[in-house]
Amino acid sequence: GIQLYPNPAQTVAFLDLTAVADETVDIQILDQTGRMVKMLHFDYAPAGATTLELRNLPTGVYFVKVQTATQQLVERLLIQQW
């Protein structure tokens, strides 16, 4: 699967996309109400860690949704801004 770290995160988190490398990938960060607050798209997902910029998102619980042609993965992410 995918790995999301650190969790909780502050200004940035890393998403390891090695499991879906070279696939077309859409990444959405959703707030607790399901509203999309950030989106990334890769035609060919990189192997290794992708940086998720969280600086402008307030403290709270979010969901990181990773969608490929064949699977959808969702990871819970806690953001704690100091």
Give 49-75 pLDDT, tens digit per residue.
999 999 999 999 999 999 999 999 999
Tokens of 41: 């798209």
Q: What's the whole-number mean pLDDT along residues 2-9?
A: 95
Give 27-50 pLDDT, tens digit per residue.
999 999 999 999 999 999 999 999
CA 4 to chain CA centroid, Å, is 7
- Whole-prediction pTM: 0.93
- Residue 46, sorted as left (phi over 0), alpha (psi -120 to 50) or beta, turns out to be beta
